[in-house]
Structure 1
Amino acid sequence: MKKVVIVGSGLGGLSCGVVLAKNGYDVMVLEQDAQVGGCLQCFTRKGAKFETGMHFIGSASEGQTLQRLLHYLEVEVKLSQLNPAGYEVISLNGKKYSFASGKEGFIDRLASSFPSQRDNLERLWEIIEHVASASSLHSLKHTETDAAIDTQYQLRSINDVVEETITDPILQKVVVGNLPLYAAERDKTPFSTYAFVMDFYNQSAYRVVGGSDNIAKSLLRTLSKYGARVFTHKKVVRIDCDATRATGVTCMDGSYYDADIVISDTHPARTVEMVDSPLLRPVYRKRIGRLPNTIGGFSVYLRFKENKVPYMNYNFYSYNQETPWNCENYTPQDWPKGYLYMHFCDEENQQYARSGVILSYMRMTDVEQWKGTEVGKRGADYEEFKRHHALRLIQNVAKEFPGLRESVDEYYTSTPLTYYDYTGTEGGSMYGIAKDINLGPMARVHHRTRIPNLLLTGQNINSHGILGVLVGTMVTCGELLTSEEIFNQVVNG
């Protein structure tokens, strides 16, 4: 039985562990923190629970892609569906627009505001379906790789394709109104990224009842069922290698674990730092270190007064400018240019929200002066920085939701520095390495490395989000089991 050591217990690490343990591998997962799950983690303050990364999921109705993947991984969680008539609401120029679930619903809803654009909306959705269905595990329709995707949609930007297809200048902006979900940048992010995200959430959109950490807990139960071991407080500081391969890992506490295969679920830049071997060439190390990462985020977690805020079963995006684009290019004076506001789902058929979150872009450079300080011990100036930005965000949301400020009992905050400390992602970025059409293949991090038994997984390998990470998991594990074998297990399991 081959030994697999997985470094990091984010969704990629846990799901790789399940796939391999189910297929007879001896799996061990090592997590540096006290809690597993990475971006699936939640935290609780005075009885209110908050999610840190995965706030909602898509394609989870019976028979849809994510539902089938979760079934294969033996994940059991309760889901609460977002409003099919408007799971995303975009506020732009003082007017609100909704994304409805399903191709027909999406087109009909937007065509009611832009009747002359119905044919163009249908054409846009044809392109989205064309791209999404060409990807192997994104569609679960075939075993071909992503090479089947029309190359032009990997090399053309979102705005290029959208603005060629949609001729109304306002609708051009509306249809990209949820771009904070993947931190898209104008003239950089490939249209294929947009297509995957839109197809994924448009099929169906849900929140995980009780929080996304329930996915991590369920994966832990599956791992235990198949004999895998998971250890927390085990920070891997070195991936040990001989002249030809990885031999195991060494932790900060001095413990060593030998391995036939090592899979890293950490940011590629962190993985490279752990490998002191000529097998990883200097040019590879430099390329990984220079890859751009998506912008970080500032979060305000709201704990509401009891029975004061009606539960909102949709996501709300608002912009303080005429376009969703370029919100990452802000100044201290015009921040925030936009935000995403959501509620936490505590129970099925929820009537009132107990907690919510407001997210907006923030660069790591804004908090660089406190880098190297400990969580909770960064000083009074850092606390004032957070308080100032939190109040500005709350004030912005209150413009759209009158009475919000009076309904908040207490709030908590996080910055890119918080995210960096808890996840290790470069620059505290929201979604890891950024996709950039201008860099071509150089922007892609392959799941294989020049160390033959060192593989990579997680949001940086395929794409971020639960589906992107799980597709990456299947690709990584396919290196050991073959992609066709995993595909057959998922489809027939």
Structure 2
Amino acid sequence: MSEVVIIGAGLGGLLCGAYLSRRGFGITVLEQGLQTGGCLQTFVREGERFDTGFHSVGGLAPGEPLYGIFEPLGLMSLPWEKVPDDEGFPFLRLQHPTEGVSAMEREHILEPYKGSSWRLRGGGKVLADALQADILAHGGRVLTRRRVVRIASGTAYCSDSSSYSGIIIADIHPLSCMAICTDHIRPSYLRRLRSYRNGDGVFSVYIKLAKGIPSDGHGIFADGSLMIHFGDAGADGLSHNLTLLCFAPARPFDRNELAISCIAKARQQLPELEPASWWTSTPATWERYTLTPGGSAYGFIKDYDNPSLSFLPPETPVPGLFLTGQNLGLHGVLGVSKTALRTCQSVIEYSKSL
């Protein structure tokens, strides 16, 4: 079978690697950072573990969409914890009439409320580590500290002078990929990519709590603008850290001032919130770790009025170069996972022509 080189060890890249390695492809994953996972990465401060971009996921129950992707890869054996269902649905909060909405659209809107929601004990790193282990178990390689600086004629060249050849899958922002590709690219394709707008980035406040707070796994959406996520509960049943997230522009701002504002808003929902220590990350932080222009958290903005114009196929004008990740279709764990399968199918079909 063919060799496949995957640039970027985020969820999309790791899923492509696991899926294709099980089908006999030789896999090499190149990751610029010290650890794999992309937005699945975790970090520790003062003994508390924090997630960066992974907090909960839906659709993991049998018969739901993500279950069908994760189960064949053995990922359902991970320590998933189901978030308890709400006792009721606050239908009175629907601010817009649904008379003009089709049955299919209505089901899509309500599905997250009706389907299951899950957390992963240990955080996103557990998922990234499992996918990496699966790639290694099927003969692949996952190499960190390998920043790809050039793509040419089916070869990825790294900053340490190493190079890797094969079919290439880029699990990075499409514009970042095209910026390092020296093969001929149709100007119309580049114009199309440049016409898309990136969504805003995320500002995060990571809080170590002075006193634990009870949590059943539910997150809180405060005032329509601030997400509050609880860390894993300890042996005492309490969460000892929180993560606060809100959208933020790529331009400079006072991170300390915004953090204090976020904490004050969170206290309106959690009066018992008492930080012992806190740290922050900005869109600039995300840009350094993911190479996403402006640190955009969800990639290209999609136009629901013209979906065919804002969704990208995995294939690029460069033969043997494919894309994957949130910029092609939908974002989030489910969107990225479904896109990874589309990319793998395209690679399999392409390999038959070699």
- Same fold flag (TM > 0.5): yes
Q: Which structure's CA Rg is the greater one?
A: 1
For the Cα contact (< 8 Å) 2:151–2:183, is it kept in 1? no
Alignment pair present for 1:421 and 2:288: yes
The alignment partner of 1:233 has SS state of coil
Which residue of the other structure, out of 458, 464, 468, is the alignment partner of 2:325?
A: 458
| 1:342 corresponding residue in structure 2 | 229
Deviation, structure 1 residue 476:
0.8
CA distance in 1, matches of 2:233, 2:122: 5
1:283-308 C-alpha deviation (Å, 9 max, x unpaired): 212321231011111110111124x3
- 1:386 and 2:255 are equivalent in the alignment: yes
Matches of 1:205 and 1:123, distance apart in 2: 28
Q: Is the 8 A contact 2:325 2:339 kept in 1?
A: yes
Structure 1 contact 210–346 (Cα < 8 Å) conserved: no
Amino acid at match of 1:481: I
Q: 1:402 to 1:346 in 2, by over 3 A?
A: closer
Matched, 1:126 2:103: yes
Supply the distance in 2 between the matched residues of 1:391 and 1:258 (Cα, whole angstroms).
49
| Aligned position for 1:40 | 40
Aligned residue for 1:403? 272
Provide the TM-score with structure 2 as the length reference: 0.91
- The structure-2 alpha-carbon separation of the partners of 1:20 and 1:78, relative to structure 1 and needing over 3 Å to count, comes to same
The residue number in structure 2 matching 1:227 is 139
Relative to structure 1, the CA distance from residue 433 to residue 350 in structure 2 (aligned partners, 3 Å threshold; closer, same or farther) is: farther
Counterpart position of 1:351 = 237
Shift of 1:309: 1.4
Cα separation, partners in 2 of 1:429 and 1:408, compared to 1, 3 Å: same
Give the Cα separation in 2 of the matches to 1:122 and 1:317: 27
CA RMSD of aligned residues (A): 2.3
Unaligned residue ranges in structure 2 (runs of 5+): 350-354
> Is it true that 1:293 corresponds to 2:198 in the alignment?
yes
Give, in whole Å, the separation in 2 of the partners of 1:359 and 1:273. Answer: 30
Structure 1 segment 82-481 matched on structure 2, within 5 A: 82-85=83-86, 109-111=89-91, 113=92, 126-128=103-105, 195=109, 198-200=110-112, 202-241=114-153, 247-259=154-166, 261-278=167-184, 280-306=185-211, 308-319=212-223, 324=224, 338-346=225-233, 351-367=237-253, 385-404=254-273, 407-437=274-304, 441-481=308-348
Per-residue CA shift, 1:313-347, capped at 9, x if unaligned? 2121122xxxx5xxxxxxxxxxxxx2111102256
Question: Does the 8 Å CA contact 1:19/1:73 hold for their aligned counterparts?
Answer: yes
Amino acid at match of 1:268: P
Q: CA deviation at 1:439?
A: 5.8
Distance 1:471 1:423 in 2: 20
Structure 1 gaps, min length 5? 87-99, 101-108, 133-194, 242-246, 325-337, 368-384, 483-493
* Distance in 2 of aligned mates of 1:351 and 1:267: 40
Alpha carbons of structure 1 residues 448 and 123: separation in structure 2 relative to 1, 3 Å: same
Q: Which residue of 1 aligns with 2:59?
A: 59
Aligned mates of 1:473, 1:223 — CA distance in 2 = 15
Which position in structure 1 is the counterpart of 2:352? none
Task: Measure, in 2, the Cα distance between the counterparts of 1:398 and 1:209.
Answer: 25
- Alignment: residue pair count: 347
Amino acid at match of 2:206: Y
> In the TM superposition, what is the alpha-carbon distance from 1:356 to its structure 2 partner?
1.1
> Which position in structure 2 is the counterpart of 1:165?
none
Q: Structure 1 length as normaliser, TM-score? A: 0.66
- Paired position in structure 2 for 1:143: none
Contact 2:31 2:143 in 1 (8 A): yes
How much does 1:45 deviate? 0.6
Tell me, in whole angstroms, the C-alpha distance in 1 between the residues paired with 2:333 and 2:39: 10
Identity of aligned residues (%): 31
Output the amino acid matched with 1:199.
Answer: E
Q: Is the 8 A contact 2:83 2:119 kept in 1?
A: yes
Report the Cα offset of residue 455 of structure 1.
0.7
